[in-house]
Structure 1
Amino acid sequence: MSEAPWLTIVGLGEDGPDGLCAASRSALARAEIVFGPPRHLSLLPARETAPGAERLDWPVPFADGVTRLMGLRGRQVVVLASGDPFWFGAGAVLARRLSRGEWRAFPGRATFSLAAARLGWPLERTACLGLHAAPLARLRPQMAPGQRLIVLLRDGTAVAELCDYLVAQGFGATGLTVMECLGGPRERLTESCAEALADQSFAAPVCVALEVAGQGAVLPLASGRPDSWFDNDGQITKRPIRALTLSALAPRPGEHLWDIGGGSGSIGIEWLLADPSLTATTIEPRADRAARIAGNAARLGVEQLQVVTGAAPAALDRLPPPDAVFVGGGLGPELLAHLVRLPGRPRLVANAVTLETEALLVAAQAEHGGDLLRVALSSVAPIGPKRGWKSAYPVVQWRWAR
């Protein structure tokens, strides 16, 4: 029989030991050390742990506790976490630091499950977000009338911050159910709407269920969002070309993008909006534009976009390897030669407006293959008292993969 893991992660609810499974109780009865936040330790009576078991408060910041935990290898340790440790909890963070044979976990009742049970909401059709350590802007892509969400918040004061955010986005009419201390004797539910709730106080732990309502702008799901969503100085891949470019980049789950010559960051941001498993790095030589890109990403809920200020190809050193690369500006012979030599099989999409860059792409397609596409768009514009078609600069796009 293999040796038992030294670490057990136990999900503990607000009902304390009443919600523990037999396996969790057995682990606690054998533990030399019980390690958890003070609130969790207070919910666990001494009779539930082995005589003489040491109790350690998990420090703040959280990372300090991880470091301390790693120093306890070789002893029988139980870490207390909230509800299901692997649903926006500490479990995944700890598991990444350990081999599979070092740990085991016994989840408790997840807060999302308890909230759905109180409201009668089907979880499979409800967005569940952990915002206790993430910005409220993560909500932005979900903001559409009729959407249901359950969100975990940092503490009671974060409820007012959530209400302020919803009102600022034009969704002050959103119905809220604030749920304090779910599953325990202090449980309390408060129903209101965002614009009427900001002045009340609430106790942690707290989650909030939202039924979105209001006249705020809704972020479309399809790529090629309106240009107005992106603060820019005119340097932006316009909506129709952006839609074609995202289609050519063809994001797949888990992939990483290099967006070279970011401008407003619209390509990298829309890439990230396609799926939460995607990652992206935007490279922009101008510091003011790099700051604007970071601001756009944060406002649209994809603040994880990595923004690098610098010029390619020098700025590409030590970046995570890409699965796809987009060049929207600054393409020259040196950068192109660097990109076609990248290891692996990254997909490369480059757009050209100038004749010089177009000639470079035509020559690259002749040498390396791939697809060339020339796009000429026109839009209606006034001609005196009447209207006519005004042509934009044609765009030549090269799509290539080794």
Structure 2
Amino acid sequence: MSKTPPASAEPELTAIGITCEGGRFALPEKAAEVVRRASVFSGGKRHFEKVRDLLPEGARWIDIGGDIEKTLRAYDRHLDTGGGTIVIFASGDPLFYGIGSTIKKLRPERKLKVFRAPNSIETLLSKAETVCENIAFASVHGRDWHELDAALIAGGKFTGLLTDAVNSPDSAAQRMIEYGFENYGSVTGENLGEKDEKIRSLTLKETAQSDFRQPCAVIIEKIAEPERKEKQFETLPDRPGMITKQPARTRAVERLEVENLEHLWDIGFCTGSVSIEARRRNPRVRVTAFEKNPLCEKLIEKNSKNFSAPGIKVVMGDFFKSSPEKLPAPDSVFIGGHGGRLGEMMEILGKITRPGGKIVLNSVTEESGKTFRARAVESGFKFEARETAGNIEILSAVKK
């Protein structure tokens, strides 16, 4: 276990943001003295090449690679055996999706000092002379698409995006076009501050068809509001009525209180209408949607693209065989289908759902309503409310 240092101790970790211009790097004021006093340093390979001539003779270097936990354990071993301050070099602001924020999250007990510098998005905004008062930030660097998806659904005018070689600017643009976010342009900044720096202003289509060197920061700008069209959910060809109708869907989503959720499960998604409405209402909620009918997989994909709701995680197959206990626990659950096994399903959900989370069922039979009420109590829930929308009974219960 890492030790908590006394309040008066020197910083165990000092993160220094460095900037470059014309290939020459610069340290923040007062950081040079910190470097002169230290003997243990850390950073990525790019940082080592930049600062190697500054390091004292005999200095130790701890490389920051793909396994960040391995790096943090190396820090722990050094510090827990009485070693001095580790100086960590980072590009730009260490607290902007950088090593500083990682340390604060994974090693909050460590005493950390940070020398901040402009982050890559700030640098790109300045160099491109882009005027924006409000900008959202997202990173897909070593991550999934969730933050970009959330920013796009939220609909802000500007989004600053950090990319990598896999989740690249062209891949991001292709995804945006695929999900109907076509009314955007971009400014891209490759190798900012280096001699081969390249800044381009592109249409979204040009971005999707271009190649980019890393590191590459991107500013995505909404050029115009999308054209509003009346849209309909696609349904199963032979069962057009198999969809949660708008009034019942709206009330169910309100009962789930999706605005406050981090993770929602939609069991028996069919067309995906509840999952999609939840994503549109709360861009940051992670939705996991379950369905056993193989025809519905293409259906939710089409509807997600039609309604610009990317990022829904789809789990196909029998819910009871999908090892739900191994997935991130839901805050709340919507039950759109249960295959006649509602009691068993609620027993499983009672063991998984987080305290305070809700289960909502749109019941079409008296029997399922009775089962819901009885098994809710048995499974650790408190029955909350009943209301109707047409011939649908909307039932909800809260996890104790």
Structure-2-length-normalised TM-score: 0.73
Counterparts of 1:155 and 1:244, CA distance in 2: 42
Find out whether 1:73 has 2:79 as its counterpart. Answer: yes
- State the match for 1:87 in structure 2: 96
Q: 1:356 matched to which residue of 2?
A: 367
Tell me: CA distance 1:147–1:308, structure 2 relative to 1, closer, same or farther (3 Å). Answer: same
Could you say which structure has the greater relative contact order, defined with CA pairs below 8 angstroms and 6 or more residues apart? 2
Structure 1 residue identity aligned to 2:10: A
Q: Are residues 1:400 and 2:400 paired?
A: no
For the residue of structure 2 that corresponds to 1:40, the secondary structure is helix
Aligned residues of 1:13 and 1:19 also touching (Cα < 8 A): yes
Q: Residues 309 and 13 from structure 1, CA distance in 2 versus in 1: closer, same or farther, beyond 3 angstroms?
A: farther
Aligned equivalents of 2:203, 2:10: Cα separation in 1: 50
Q: What is the deviation of 1:107?
A: 2.4
1:127 is matched with which residue?
Answer: 136
Residue 120 of structure 2 corresponds to 111
Q: Which runs of 5+ in 2 are unaligned?
A: 1-6
Return closer, same or farther for 1:277/1:229 CA change in 2, 3 Å cut-off.
Answer: farther
Partner in structure 2 of residue 370 of structure 1: 384
Deviations 1:144-190 (A, max 9, x none): 99832222221499333344445555666743222223345554322
Among candidates 207, 213, 216, match of residue 217 of structure 2: 207
Q: Is the 8 A contact 2:187 2:218 kept in 1?
A: yes
Residue 149 (structure 1) aligned with residue 159 (structure 2): yes
Q: Give the secondary structure class of the aligned counterpart of 2:20.
A: coil
Report if aligned partners of 1:313, 1:334 keep a CA contact under 8 Å in 2.
Answer: no
Residue 248 of structure 1 and its aligned partner are, at CA, apart by 0.9
Native 8 Å contact 2:179 2:304 kept in 1 = no
Aligned equivalent of 2:342, options 332, 347, 369: 332
Partners in 1 of 2:238 and 2:168 — Cα distance? 31
Residue number in structure 1 paired with 2:60: 54
Where does structure 1 lack aligned partners over 5 or more consecutive residues?
377-393
Q: CA deviation at 1:35?
A: 1.6
Do the aligned partners of 1:171 and 1:213 also contact (CA within 8 Å) in 2? no
- Cα distance in 2, alignment partners of residues 50 and 196 from structure 1: 47
What RMSD, in angstroms, separates the aligned Cα atoms of the two structures?
4.5
Structure-to-structure mapping, 1:165-184, within 5 angstroms: 165-169=175-179, 174-183=184-193
C-alpha distance in structure 2 between counterparts of 1:30 and 1:144, whole Å: 47
Change (3 A) 1:43 1:252: same
Q: Secondary structure at the match of 1:114?
A: helix
Could you say if the C-alpha distance between residues 317 and 218 of structure 1 is closer, same or farther in structure 2, counting changes exceeding 3 Å?
A: same
User: Are 1:13 and 2:22 matched, yes or no?
Assistant: no
Instruction: Encode CA deviations 1:82-122: one digit per residue, 9 max, x unaligned.
Output: 22223222333333332423433332211222233343433
Q: Does the 8 A contact of 1:178 with 1:191 survive in 2? A: yes
**1:244 is matched with which residue?**
251
- The alpha-carbon distance between structure 1 residues 175 and 255, as it changes in their structure 2 partners (threshold 3 A), is closer
Query: 2:3 maps to which residue?
Result: none
Q: How many residues align?
A: 377
Q: Report which stretch shifted further, 63-72 or 30-39.
A: 63-72
Q: Shift of residue 246 of structure 1?
A: 0.9
Shift of 1:9: 2.2
Report which stretch shifted further, 322-331 or 293-302: 293-302
Indicate how the Cα distance of structure 1 residues 156 and 83 shifts in structure 2: closer, same or farther if over 3 A, else same: farther
TM-superposed CA distance for 1:219, in Å, is 11
Q: Is the 8 A contact 1:313 1:335 kept in 2?
A: no
1:188 paired residue among 193, 198, 222: 198
- The residue aligned with 1:34 is 41
Within the candidate set 165, 168, 172, 1:158 is matched to 168
Aligned to 1:386: none
Closer, same or farther in 2 for the Cα pair 1:88/1:395, shift >3 Å?
same
C-alpha change, 1:232 and 1:270, in structure 2 (3 Å) is: farther
Alpha-carbon offset, residue 344 of structure 1:
3.6
8 Å Cα contact 2:132/2:158 also seen in 1: no
**Residue identity in the other structure for 2:14:** T
Per the alignment, do residues 186 and 232 of structure 1 end up closer, same or farther by CA in structure 2, a change over 3 Å counting?
A: farther
SS of 2:89 mapped into structure 1: strand
For 1:101, the equivalent position in structure 2 comes to: 110
2:4 paired residue number: none
For 2:142 and 2:362, locate their aligned partners in 1 and report how far apart those are by CA, in whole Å: 38
Q: d(CA) in 1 for partners of 2:47 and 2:171?
A: 25
